[in-house]
Amino acid sequence: MQRNKLFIFFSVIIPLLALSGFSALYLSAAIDFSLFKSYSLGVLIAALNFLIGFIAIRIGLNKPNKSFLIIVFGAVVIRFFLIFALIILTLSFLYVRMNSFIFTNFTFYFYFLIVEILYLKNQKILIKNE
């Protein structure tokens, strides 16, 4: 139960706190709208990537090893092309600050990647203890 609370904290609460912080900065006029949009879209695209990966992991977790690898690596390919397309579309058609958007996107991408790896590690420990 403690691990689930930690997972929820790291996968949901911290990104929401970041978005809330960006909103507070925007509402206090510390940053302009294009910067706020750049930060927010970077976090949301990384969160979408995480959500797809997490769903793939949950689907493949109870499958045999070969099926698990096919599901997870298939999701990695789908995620790559989807996120690539979203980043290109965002940079092409929305007025965002490129440096802020890319920095936020990759920061949260790696953050969510660490959360995914820790989730897999914890699930492996739980399965091993059963």
The arithmetic mean of pLDDT across residues 40-60, rounded, is 93
State pTM to two decimals. 0.88
- As a whole number, the mean pLDDT across the chain is 89
3-state secondary structure the chain: CHHHHHHHHHHHHHHHHHHHHHHHHHHCCCCCHHHHHHHHHHHHHHHHHHHHHHHHHHHHCCCCHHHHHHHHHHHHHHHHHHHHHHHHHHHHHCCCCHHHHHHHHHHHHHHHHHHHHHHHHHHHHHHHHC
Render pLDDT for 51-108 as a digit per residue (tens, 0 to 9): 999 999 989 988 888 998 999 999 999 999 999 999 999 999 988 999 999 999 999 9
